[in-house]
């Protein structure tokens, strides 16, 4: 399973904004969106292109456009913080949603809603900001595979080694793009040093 840690200076700056306890929800949402642009760009660096004939103001030429459709699946709730970047950056992207909540005792995912677009032959980005135990991301990957996805990249903000290991074991074909690989998990399965509960911080429900 390929793991990419995005170390762009701007990505590191916005990740620091997200990590700070004092960051307000509006600032947190804005920083998450800006960081998401960099993560989505990295997650699509290898998208196939094809040449088409166009006319510039001066002459005709062959120019590249995307040759493969794209889809983005936001894992509720925190994945919603990344969805705007995918919508604004990717032309004609189709959007799906995967509703899952964590069992606070076992940290395993509990499904409550899914809605997916056509994903066959598409590059599918799963937007799951917190890769902690890997339970919810692995579940989401299973779900999109059941619906025809074969080319899958996970877009995360922060990852923990145990979650990365689980993805390597259960989905070695899925690339993971993240802004940071953090140290470990605490006794409540939260990533350390992490940034807290991303869903709560995005939506002001702390």
Q: How far apart are CA 24 and CA 188, in angstroms?
A: 23
Q: Give Dmax (Cα) for the chain.
A: 64
The residues that are catalytic are 102, 106, 197, 200
Alpha-carbon distance values, 99 to 12, 51, 96 (Å):
28, 38, 10
Q: How far apart are CA 26 and CA 31, in angstroms?
A: 9
> What local confidence, expressed as pLDDT, does residue 163 receive?
96
Q: Return all residues near 58 (Cβ < 8 A) that are at least 6 apart.
A: none
Give CA 172 to chain center in angstroms.
17
> What local confidence, expressed as pLDDT, does residue 154 receive?
98
Cis peptide preceding 77, ω within 30 of 0: yes
Q: How far apart are CA 88 and CA 41, in angstroms?
A: 11
Task: For residue 50, give its domain range.
Answer: 3-203
> What local confidence, expressed as pLDDT, does residue 106 receive?
63
Alpha-carbon distance values, 89 to 1, 54, 86, 96 (Å):
25, 21, 5, 16
Q: How far apart are CA 110 and CA 123, in angstroms?
A: 26
Classify residue 117 by its DSSP letter: -
Q: What is the CATH number of the domain that holds 32?
A: 3.40.50.2020
Count of domains observed in the chain: 1
From first to last of its 206 residues, the chain has per-residue pLDDT tens of 699 999 999 999 999 999 999 999 999 999 999 999 999 999 999 999 999 999 999 999 999 999 999 999 999 888 999 999 999 999 999 999 998 776 666 656 677 788 999 999 999 999 999 999 999 999 999 999 999 999 999 999 999 999 999 999 999 999 999 999 999 999 988 999 999 999 899 988 86
């Amino acid at each position: 399973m390929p793991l990419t840690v995005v170390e762009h200076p701007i990505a590191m700056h916005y990740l620091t904004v997200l990590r700070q306890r004092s960051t307000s929800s509006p600032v947190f949402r804005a920083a998450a969106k800006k960081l998401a642009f960099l993560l989505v760009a990295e997650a699509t660096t290898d998208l196939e292109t094809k040449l088409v004939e166009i006319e510039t103001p001066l002459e005709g030429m062959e120019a590249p456009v995307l040759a493969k459709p794209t889809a983005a699946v936001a894992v509720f709730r925190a994945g919603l913080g990344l969805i705007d970047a995918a919508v604004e950056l990717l032309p004609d992207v189709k959007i799906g949603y995967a509703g899952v909540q964590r069992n606070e005792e076992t940290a395993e995912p509990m499904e409550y809603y899914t809605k997916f677009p056509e994903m066959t032959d598409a590059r599918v980005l799963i937007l799951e900001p917190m890769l902690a135990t890997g339970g919810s991301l692995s579940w989401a990957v299973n779900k999109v595979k059941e619906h025809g996805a074969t080319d899958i990249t996970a877009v995360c903000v922060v990852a923990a080694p145990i979650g990365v290991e689980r993805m390597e074991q259960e989905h070695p074909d899925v690339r993971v793009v993240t802004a940071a690989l953090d140290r470990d998990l605490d006794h409540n399965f939260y990533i350390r040093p992490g940034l807290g509960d991303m869903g709560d911080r995005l939506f002001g429900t702390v």
